[in-house]
Amino acid sequence: MASSIGSLLIVTISQFIQIYIVILIIRILLSWFPTINWFDPPFSVLSQLTDPYLNLFRSLIPPLGGIDLSPMLAFFALQILQQLIGTLPQLLPGGF
């Protein structure tokens, strides 16, 4: 029973990370269009979901010459987290 709950939790977290990566990609692609009003409802929700996470990395790497490199670090961190979650059952002594 614990094995199936643990597996379900790992799959759920992994799927959440995948969905969040897609949301980040959409946010970054939309940022290339300067006419988008980020206060309009569909865009404001997207901004509220992604900006707090991206701001963590923006404080580490400020924009250089108008180019924001923080999303690359944000993607890298999410991919490392996803790989760690995938190997979690092998790392724990009892496993899932």
Q: Specify the amino acid at residue 19.
A: I
CA angle 7-12-16, nearest 5°? 150
47 domain-assigned:
yes
pLDDT for 63 equals: 83
Q: How many domains does the chain have?
A: 1
Residues contacting residue 67 through CB under 8 Å, at least 6 positions apart: none
Residue 34 counted as domain residue? yes
Q: Is 29 inside a domain boundary?
A: yes
Mean pLDDT of the chain: 87
Assigned domain for 40 exists: yes
| DSSP per-residue string spanning 8-32 | HHHHHHHHHHHHHHHHHHHHHHHTT
Say if residues 10 and 88 touch (Cβ distance below 8 Å).
yes
Is residue 91 very low, low, confident or very high in pLDDT (cuts 50, 70, 90)?
Answer: low
Among 2, 1, 25, smallest CA distance to 79 is for 25
pLDDT tens, residue by residue, 54-76: 999 998 888 888 888 889 999 99
Q: Could you tell me if residue 23 is inside a domain?
A: yes
Boundaries of domain holding 17: 2-91
Whether residue 68 lies inside any domain: the answer is yes
pTM: 0.83
Instruction: Assess if residue 96 is contained within a domain.
Output: no
Residue 61 lies in a domain: yes
Confidence bin at 88 (pLDDT 50/70/90): confident
